Structure 1
Amino acid sequence: MTARAPVGWSTAKLGDVTLKALKCDPVSTGRRRVRYVDIGQLEGPTSDLSDAPAVDSQMAPSRCRQVLEGGDTLYSTVRPYLRKIAFVQQALDGEFASTGYCVLRPAREIHPRFLYYFTLSKQFEDQVLPLQKGVSYPAVLDREVRAQRIWYPGLREQRRIVELLEDHLGTLARAEEHLFAVLQRLEVLERSVHQLALRGELVPDDLSEGTGRDLLAGAASLDPATLEERSWPTPSAWTWSRIGDLFTVSVGTTPSRGEGTLWNGGVPWVSSGEVAFNRIKTTRETIAPAAVSGSKRLHPPGTVMLAMIGEGKTRGQTAILDIEAAHNQNCASIRVSETRILPEYVFAFFKERYLETRRGSSGGNQPALNKGRIQGIPIPVPPLGTQRLIVEELDRFATSYSYLRNSCRTSLGRVHSLRKALLTAAFEGKLAGRHTDNEAIEERAEALGAKENSQP
């Protein structure tokens, strides 16, 4: 349904109440270097864009052509659903932006911040997003953005709406910041608890089922003091060995997609994306028994899976098989269940390794893995009784951690809904600066939340 302007507000095409930015080659400015806002600089809505990387005028990209003024709104025409929208501060006056942005410079009848907030609203989004074209990089044209409607009251009322919006949005931003801080502290706590567990400092040793050395079954014992790889001191009843000396490590395969008879045959088949710090009870795809060349390709319950290759956070994640399954070449299977060592303990070891690596690497990228590297990883081996205590304690912690994390994520979703509802109410003319505002915002937040939850 097309949104309607509030009674008494003016309506116009965006292009009729905004000015276009001057376009020129940075070289023509006579400046050796200019600052340039590329599409990649923005990660989402930015209400205070006051800095950008400097580039050499002679070497500036061909898209570095639009001259900025303080008070402009930048609207990315590439993948507009990512909402790369920014309000330009005076510090970037005379600097440059990519031609991938639609630069909206308000005419006198439009308050600059009112324009910025309108481009963030659902009313504007609903006009622009249906115009996207393309598959890999859906985009809209500059002229299509300018052809969309904007509605607005007089300048005095616009200023009042902006003040109310910024007051409410500021409160939501602070709440969001606190929630993200809590999530970060939870990550630190999770990493610390796992480190304590693997150093023998979380639970007392239980020697009722022997020592760690009794679990080696002929595997070589290592002195951690002599290792070049990451290691640490452990209690005397513990020992160290390598993954490949303790367990059978295998890498899977992917049957030919061109051979239809090799797929949908009932044998669970794990892909690296399904290895996500979980227990695997079912898989998205199955393969035919003929695609599994022998028992070495079909792994029993209790096998620990490790994602070797994957985008973003996938690589280095681990899981435990609760079913018999095969897997693709992007995963390694570690047959822990063939030994007395607990799969849950090995799972905890790889999780600690993942958390520590994420802490120390930019963007959370994990080191590249292959079968040989996995086999060579040193692992501390506690007594079996101690492993049981460690697993029980980590399970108790995980229950509390998951509850708190999910609560934070639910609250962040609530902040997101309230922000959208607030903007929607503002451009319906429903922000009066009274207690009734909260009722209008809550009503729209519930409607938005229900609509988003109903979408597949």
Structure 2
Amino acid sequence: MNWPVVPLGEVAETALGKMLDKGKSRGNEHVPYLRNINVQWGRIDTHDLLTMELAEDERERFGVRSGDLLVCEGGDVGRCAIWQGRSAYLAYQKALHRIRPSAVLDARFLRYLLEHQAKSGALAKLSTGSTIAHLPQQKLRRIPVPLPPLAEQHRIVEILEDHLSRLDAGQKELTAAPRRIEAMKSAILRELIPDPVAYPEHWTELTVGDAGTIELGRQRHPDWHAGPNMRPYLRVANVFEDRIDIADVMEMHWPADTFDRFKLSPGEVLLNEGQSPEFLGRPAMYRGVPTDVAFTNSLIRFKASNEVDPEFALLVFRRHMRAGRFKRESRITTNLAHLSARRLKEIEFPLPPLDEQRQIVATARDRLDAADRLKSGVVTALAQELRLRKAVLAAAFSGTLTKSPNELRHTEELVPA
């Protein structure tokens, strides 16, 4: 389309918000204000407003009114939403730009244009800062704005919002899906390994200490950060539920004979000794990778007895973690919970016959793997939704977006995967 393109500063008034004054109070009234975190894509959250001191003669300069477009200056550069107004006064801080479009520019058209430019990478090219990106006022004013007639802007926004509302509805469902899948996995584990009161009569109720041996890993010490016998070890950052992450395996010096004591063997289960309460005792089985590796005292090792299938033990521990059983036995300091080896030994451990343990493991693996495949599909669908959103925005500002419901099937070709 042959739309004229003009710098934003020519068709809108822009301003940065109030810089917070951390000095001594000047005795002025405190007023609520918007921060970067309050402005999300397409919405402004006022549930957590802070206040700042503001002089009477600064109110007009740093106030917002209905129809203003608030734009994040740093972080997620360009993230923006239109303020719909309220009766009480509201200011905004320096982390935000306030844009007041002129009569030739629809604020909604500009809001979607900025989202398009942010998601396409155009705003990143205008930003400064090596760690946290920032969009200075002078560069904001230089943003190129395609300027179709106002009626055409209204038509584009109407079509765009119709398409995006469909995508938003799908995204809402997809975003909720991972939580539902995790709840389903917990239900699978509860069904296969019930509460103690519901154990089948032929099961034996043991404790974890009866079912195997428990041992804390080797304590770390600054003197062992270097030495002649550097060997790898696993720590809490490596152990996730049913998965050991080997991307960041560290090493330390092991004096003679100490490494063999803490060296892991395939089939041993590691549990996090210290973690946020929700994930305390998060377990994973060591399956031989990486080779020749030990563990530290942020982890607890469980070696199953001959009557216990290690894979079944892993299921029991996953079930306990998800049910909050480890949390009930923990000692909590600040936001970190700790599970002592002594307390772990006393936790109940169900013991079906060995053949039944293996049957439960096979059933659980089939059902949990299916849940993981479903979750992976959700991740793929969310990525697809993001690509479609980018494509729809690109089509809108190239003048090719139509009202057709089939538009979403074709616009993804406009952006790379």
Q: CA RMSD in A?
A: 3.9
Q: Label 1:240 to 1:298 Cα distance change in 2 as closer, same or farther (>3 A).
A: same
Counterparts of residues 285-324 of structure 1 (less than 5 Å): 285=249, 287=251, 290=254, 293-309=258-274, 316-323=281-288
Runs of 5+ consecutive residues of structure 2 not aligned to the other structure: 329-333
Counterparts of residues 30-429 of structure 1 (less than 5 Å): 34-42=31-39, 44-45=40-41, 47-49=42-44, 51-55=46-50, 66-80=62-76, 84-91=79-86, 94-122=89-117, 126-130=121-125, 131-135=127-131, 137-199=132-194, 232-244=197-209, 246-253=212-219, 259=226, 261-263=228-230, 267=232, 269-280=233-244, 284-285=248-249, 287=251, 290=254, 293-309=258-274, 316-323=281-288, 325-336=293-304, 338-357=305-324, 368-372=337-341, 375-376=344-345, 378-383=347-352, 384-429=354-399
Q: Label 1:328 to 1:91 Cα distance change in 2 as closer, same or farther (>3 A).
A: farther
Q: Indicate conservation of the 8 Å contact 2:268/2:301, yes or no.
A: yes
State the SS of the aligned residue for 1:103.
strand
Q: For residues 272 and 58 of structure 1, what CA distance do their matches in structure 2 show?
A: 45
State the shift of 1:290 in Å.
4.3
The runs of at least 4 consecutive aligned structure 1 residues that moved more than 6 Å come to: 24-32, 311-314
State the shift of 1:378 in Å.
0.9
Report % sequence identity: 20
Q: Indicate conservation of the 8 Å contact 2:8/2:145, yes or no.
A: yes
Q: For residues 167 and 98 of structure 1, what CA distance do their matches in structure 2 show?
A: 33
Q: Indicate conservation of the 8 Å contact 1:164/1:433, yes or no.
A: yes
Q: For residues 88 and 27 of structure 2, what CA distance do their matches in structure 1 show?
A: 13
Q: For residues 245 and 28 of structure 2, what CA distance do their matches in structure 1 show?
A: 65
State the shift of 1:110 in Å.
1.3
State the SS of the aligned residue for 1:368.
strand
Runs of 5+ consecutive residues of structure 1 not aligned to the other structure: 1-5, 201-230, 450-456
Q: For residues 300 and 64 of structure 2, what CA distance do their matches in structure 1 show?
A: 52
Q: For residues 14 and 368 of structure 1, what CA distance do their matches in structure 2 show?
A: 53
TM-score (norm 2): 0.79
State the SS of the aligned residue for 2:105.
coil
Q: Indicate conservation of the 8 Å contact 1:299/1:335, yes or no.
A: no
Q: Label 1:294 to 1:261 Cα distance change in 2 as closer, same or farther (>3 A).
A: closer
State the shift of 1:347 in Å.
1.7
Q: For residues 366 and 94 of structure 1, what CA distance do their matches in structure 2 show?
A: 37
Deviations 1:42-91 (A, max 9, x none): 5x52x13263435456699xxx994222222222223226x643332223
Q: For residues 94 and 283 of structure 1, what CA distance do their matches in structure 2 show?
A: 51
Q: Which amino acid aligns with 2:36?
A: I
State the SS of the aligned residue for 1:432.
coil
Task: Identify the residue that residue 441 of structure 1 maps to in structure 2.
Answer: 411
